[in-house]
Amino acid sequence: MTAVRTPPGARGAPAGGAGGDPICRFCAHYFVTWEASTPHGCRALGFKSRQIPSREVRRTSGDACRYYSPARRG
């Protein structure tokens, strides 16, 4: 079993990616763009990217995304 960590500032965020970044597909702000060059989108931060948005946040800011919000399910 893999330990799940919560990144600072992102309470309740499921983490599991490299560095404990939030998993965007569980986030209310995540969307699929259906664009081949930038298939992932983040509404909270207003960008589309080739990589998963939380990885892009980590790459550009050096910190974990702090805007994670659990998506409603069911």
Residues that bind ligand SF4 (CB under 6 A): 22, 24, 27, 29-30, 42, 44-45, 53-54, 57, 65, 67-68
Token couple for 14: 């499921």
Min CB(36)–ligand SF4 separation in Å: 19
Instruction: State how far the Cα of 37 lies from the Cα of 49, in Å rounded to an integer.
Output: 8
d(CA 73, CA 66): 21
Task: Output the smallest distance, CB 1 to ligand SF4, in A.
Answer: 23
If the CB atoms of residues 1 and 23 are measured against ligand SF4, the closer one turns out to be: 23
DSSP 6: -
